[in-house]
Amino acid sequence: MPTELIYLRDAYLTEFDAVVVDVRDGAVALDRTAFYATGGGQPNDTGALAGLAVTDVRKDGEHVWHSVEGGPLPAIGDTVHGQVDWGRRHDLMRTHTALHVLCGVIWNEWRVPVTGGNMEPLSARMDFEFDPLPEGFGPRVEQLVNTELAADRPIEVSFLPRSTAVMDEDLIRTKVSLIPESVPEIRVVDIVGLDKQADGGTHVRTTGEVGRIRVVKLENKGKGNKRVRLEIIDA
Ligand SMILES: [Zn+2]
């Protein structure tokens, strides 16, 4: 059985019990977990598992592996308690939602798609197909994003059958068709009225919870590739 990813349905759950299904050098696989595994531009959570510090979380095959410091490691079949470091996780949720707001704003204003991105707690970069960047882009995009954050839009997470998702115009724009055909159900993160994407990350409940953003730097990464670096600050 693949590890159940609790955070896909509840990003606010930080404590859980789970059964150890496999153990290897310094790492533990569980039947369920609230720890986010690195992926989709969002880094892993940290925290504690069975009293040991969790330093890394990765998917490998069907299981989520939690690298822990010290020992002894729990044994296969043991029930263990996990606790996610909420400060780091919540900062990553704020950051991830801010990036989706940025994507929505840039699409609505300039009809330019995103090409990639990465985040750390409260700082991130995202690349867009601008060529060149519009005049006055930095202050303008910062203002547009902060207006959407202050509007406190709700964020809804849902699960759609693949056949429904591939017909949705907003999801087509964000390349839902690239998700492997073997995935029967698509998780959709909808910042209502602004941005809708197939996404496996953790998000806050409303855009107001993000705070504000500041555009730190704009970089030219070549033709049709302009990088926006931003930080998230309290409102
Ligand atoms: Zn995302």
The whole-model pTM stands at: 0.96
Q: Which contacts of 160-169 are long-range, i.e. CB under 8 A and separated by 24 or more positions?
A: 160/185, 160/186, 160/188, 161/185, 161/186, 162/186, 165/198, 168/196
pLDDT digits (tens, 9 = 90+) for 215-235: 999 999 998 899 999 999 998
Per-residue pLDDT, 173: 78
Q: How many Å lie between the centroid of ligand 1 and the Cα of residue 200?
A: 7
CA of 155 to the centre of ligand 1 (A): 12
What tens digit of pLDDT does each residue of 19-43 get?
Answer: 999 999 999 999 999 999 999 999 9
pLDDT in tens, 63-116: 999 999 998 999 999 999 999 999 999 999 999 999 999 999 999 999 999 999
User: Which has the minimum average pLDDT: 11-20, 59-68, 181-190, 198-207?
Assistant: 181-190
- The pLDDT tens digits for 120-177 are 999 999 999 999 999 999 999 999 999 999 999 999 999 999 989 988 888 887 777 7
Helices (H), 19-136: 86-110
Q: 23 CA distance to ligand 1 centroid (A)?
A: 30
